[in-house]
Amino acid sequence: MPAPTSPKKTSKGLIFVIVLVGAAVLAVPCIGVLAAVAVPAFIGYLTRAKTAEAESNLRSLHAAAASYYAMEHYPDGGGEALSGCVVPSARTGNIPGAQKTLLPPSLGPSFDDLGFAITDPIYFQYEIVSVGGCGHGPNEPLYSFRAHGDLDGDGVQSLYEISAGSDDLNELTHPVIYRENELE
């Protein structure tokens, strides 16, 4: 005669299985809700992190331009030293997009004159808008440094811009970054 099974063992095992199934059924929607909240927040965090490139490079451009403006420059054919010089307008050759672009070692004469180079791949296109020339005096608008971006690749561009002019002491003013469509 077979040994009788204990009803206590069967009911404990059944209860354990029911609790596990119930926990799994409740956990899946909770995990889905957490993911629905966390994923967009994380994507926004990544986008904001990418914008740090633009701000950092614009500040570097401004610092290089301030140094260039303070230096004396000599014409190619000789002659007296010129001061208050501003490089001509220029733009990097890349198209801003969701993928990083590696730029050539030389970005062009204006960027080279400032000693500005970008060695890592970038998301943004950089532009110098200037009045150009030498002999600028106090309280003149001189430069706009711009970073154009399209971090999500949708064709809508963001703009980061530092405008700088000379102050009463004929030095470049301290930069303030203007942002338009920051996270586009």
Rounded Cα gap, residues 129 and 88, in angstroms? 7
**Among 88, 68, 66, residue whose Cα is nearest residue 166:** 66
- The mean pLDDT values, 10 residues at a time, for the chain of 184 residues are 57 79 77 78 83 94 93 82 91 93 93 94 96 90 94 92 91 87 82
What pLDDT shows up at residue 37?
Answer: 79
What sign does the dihedral 126-88-179-169 (CA atoms) show? positive
What is the side-by-side order of every strand in the sheet holding 125-130? 90-91, 125-130, 141-149, 158-165, 177-180
Tell me the β-bridge partners of 166: 172
Domain locations in the chain as residue ranges: 53-180
pTM (two decimals): 0.78
pLDDT at 2: 59
